[in-house]
């Protein structure tokens, strides 16, 4: 057995928006990775466009910094529970975790979620209380909250003796005392070296590398990212790829990379504890092990949580099909979805009876809407059904996914929130007030009860509320929930919307389009407060007559229309409706476009 003292592997885990990516920025800057004159983007780790726009991390990233001759491999992980599949496997590559907690918000649902995974795998935690320069920061209380959480999650005595560092990632400093601001990140670097265990194992044994992540490159194909668990690996070496249940096969390591700063650097070899990227192995999957050919021993891999929400992805068949997208056929759609599953472990894709329809399951609405948005930007055109939860059967009982929901709202809005959550079958677990006039509420709620709630919640609290939720487990079915109380306003015919037509339509409800928009029969152009659909003609033109009354030519005043985002569209549509998605537009429509056919089907049902 040997220990590599000059190496540390650590993951940064935290709730959304508590500053993980900003902290990694500072560690990179202060370890001298960038040249003094180099222009570096903020949140440099969030590399894809969607991450930069939304300010969230979706994919985990690897980076490495040098501090006093010790290499520290840092993995930045997503905070959203929808990307929990990423967090679980990343923890397999590291020996310790930095648990980041906001000095004002304290422990949030995702903090609990990621910490539970880390403690379960026996990782050594270091608690970083971030944003101590924020107004209203309460670092001492937050440390107590973290301790309570550790006890609640069943941490052992050694894990309970966690060290604490107080930091401001934005300010670029850390300190061991909340009342004495530091000057740089040195206390945090020291803490990592002293507290995170160095990798241990058999330095001279036969090769063993466990792959926890897959990247894809258009030039070299699949790149496996993993950790050397035993011995060493070299460029050009022949290895055996094996898993717990599959037949082993041989492959050659054509290239080997190690991480330095944000770059992958080619290396000749790597040894125990190193995090490496390997190219040249076709069909490599997450959770597989590369072993020496004379000693084939696959390593066990973490069990990844099952998906809880599914949607149907279909080929677009609306009257506007094929006008705006580049990839429109069922073959394009099929190839893209199956390629996604290769790197996105928490997602499943199944074929259905129809060749044009695929069932895609994921960890939540956000997980699926990010995929839709990525495909849209890559030029795909398709349509999707409303999200539905995945039920399970156990001992003849129907079980459904339950979420833990945490809400913070100003005291005046508590009644409005409670009133809406009652019919959605939410159960209040905890209620407390904070000094600043806000109330903290905790609920258990069926995942279906949350669908479509976020936009209502923002309206009910005038945008002042914060809500977070995390998957809690499966429980017995809670009964029916009435979802939408509004009906749709549907276009009567194909054409271009006119101000005249919209002026008379807006009396019926809220419009989603303005004048000059191409519409087709059966397309949803607005919502009305009654629980029934209304068909209106938004393309109606004013007929010219030879009489002129005094008020005839006054300008028509149009109420500004609402523009719905992709998530809002998915929340709005009912069972018999679809969202049509193209690179240029997002439209909502009825499954059956013709009004006559819809009437016939409705009368048959009655």
Question: Phi first, then psi: what are they for 42, rounded to 5°?
Answer: -70, 155
33 is in an annotated binding site: no
Nearest Cα residue to 115 out of 152, 141, 82: 152
Question: How many angstroms separate the Cα of 1 from the Cα of each of 122, 126, 140?
Answer: 20, 26, 41
| Separation CA 98–CA 193 (nearest Å) | 12
- Concatenated DSSP letters of 346-410: T-EEEE-SSTTEEEEEESSHHHHHHHHHHHHHTTB-EEEPPPEEPPEEETTEEEEEEEEEEEEEE
| Separation CA 571–CA 563 (nearest Å) | 14
133 is in an annotated binding site: yes
Which distant-in-sequence residues (6+ apart) come within 8 Å of 446 by Cβ? 389, 400, 401, 402, 403, 424, 425, 478, 481
17 is in an annotated binding site: yes
| Separation CA 239–CA 289 (nearest Å) | 10
357 is in an annotated binding site: no
3-state secondary structure of 594: coil
281 is in an annotated binding site: no
130 is in an annotated binding site: yes
For the record, the structure tokens of 348 come out as 């499943």
For the record, the structure tokens of 367 come out as 């997980």
Radius of gyration of the chain (CA): 27
20 is in an annotated binding site: yes
Q: Which H or E run includes 260?
A: strand 255-260
21 is in an annotated binding site: yes
132 is in an annotated binding site: yes
CA pseudo-torsion sign 360, 365, 366, 367: negative
- Tokens 């007929």 correspond to 543
Annotated binding residues for GTP, as ranges? 17-22, 130-133
Annotated binding residues, as ranges? 17-22, 130-133
């Amino acid at each position: 057995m040997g220990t590599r003292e000059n190496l540390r592997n650590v993951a940064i885990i935290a709730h959304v928006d508590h500053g993980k990516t900003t902290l990694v920025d500072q560690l990179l800057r202060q370890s001298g990775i960038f040249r003094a004159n180099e222009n570096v983007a903020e949140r440099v780790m969030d590399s894809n466009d969607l991450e930069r726009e939304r300010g969230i991390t979706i994919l985990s990233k690897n980076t490495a910094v040098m501090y006093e001759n010790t290499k520290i491999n840092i993995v930045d992980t997503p905070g959203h529970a929808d990307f929990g599949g990423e967090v679980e496997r990343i923890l397999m590559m590291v020996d310790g975790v930095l648990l980041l907690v906001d000095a004002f918000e304290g422990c949030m649902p995702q903090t609990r979620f990621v910490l539970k995974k880390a403690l379960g795998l026996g990782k050594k935690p270091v608690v970083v209380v971030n944003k101590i320069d924020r107004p209203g920061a309460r670092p001492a209380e937050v440390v107590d909250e973290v301790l309570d959480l550790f006890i609640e999650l069943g941490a052992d005595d050694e894990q309970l003796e966690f060290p604490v560092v107080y930091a401001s990632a934005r300010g670029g400093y850390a300190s061991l005392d909340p009342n004495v601001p530091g000057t740089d990140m040195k206390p945090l670097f020291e803490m990592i070296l002293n507290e995170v265990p160095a990798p241990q194992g058999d330095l001279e044994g036969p090769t063993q590398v466990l792959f926890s992540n897959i990247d894809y490159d258009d030039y070299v194909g699949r790149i496996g990212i993993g950790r050397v668990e035993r011995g060493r690996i070299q460029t050009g070496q022949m290895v055996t790829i094996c898993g717990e249940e599959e037949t082993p096969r041989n492959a050659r390591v054509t290239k080997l990379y190690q991480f330095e700063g944000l770059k992958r650097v080619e290396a000749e070899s790597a040894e125990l504890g190193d995090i490496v990227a390997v190219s040249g192995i076709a069909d490599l999957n997450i959770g597989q092990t590369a072993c020496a050919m004379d000693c084939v021993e696959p390593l066990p891999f973490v069990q990844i949580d099952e998906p809880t929400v599914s949607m149907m992805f279909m080929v677009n068949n609306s009257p506007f099909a094929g006008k705006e997208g580049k990839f429109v056929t069922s073959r394009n759609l099929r190839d893209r979805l199956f390629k996604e599953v290769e790197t996105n472990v928490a997602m499943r894709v199944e074929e259905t009876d129809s060749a044009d329809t695929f069932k895609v399951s994921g960890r939540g609405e956000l997980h699926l809407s990010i995929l839709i948005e990525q495909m849209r930007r890559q030029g795909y055109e398709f349509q999707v059904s409303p999200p539905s939860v995945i039920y399970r059967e156990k001992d003849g009982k129907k079980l459904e996914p339950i979420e833990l929901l945490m809400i913070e709202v100003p005291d005046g809005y508590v009644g409005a929130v409670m009133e809406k959550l009652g019919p959605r079958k939410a159960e209040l677990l905890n209620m407390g007030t904070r000094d600043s006039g806000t109330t903290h509420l905790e609920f258990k709620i069926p995942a279906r009860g949350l669908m479509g709630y976020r936009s209502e919640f923002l309206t009910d609290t005038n945008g002042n509320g914060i809500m977070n939720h995390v998957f809690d487990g499966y429980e017995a079915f809670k009964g029916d929930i009435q979802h939408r109380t509004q009906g749709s306003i549907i276009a009567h015919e194909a054409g271009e919307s006119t101000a005249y037509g919209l002026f008379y339509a807006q009396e019926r409800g809220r419009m989603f389009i303005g004048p000059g928009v191409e519409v087709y029969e059966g397309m949803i152009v607005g919502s009305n407060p009654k629980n029934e659909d209304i068909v209106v003609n938004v393309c109606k033109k004013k007929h010219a007559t030879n009489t002129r009354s005094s008020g005839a030519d006054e300008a028509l005043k149009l109420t500004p229309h609402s523009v719905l985002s992709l998530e809002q569209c998915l929340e709005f549509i009912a069972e018999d409706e679809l969202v049509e998605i193209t690179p240029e537009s997002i439209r909502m429509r009825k499954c059956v476009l013709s009004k006559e056919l819809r009437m016939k089907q409705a009368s048959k049902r009655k």
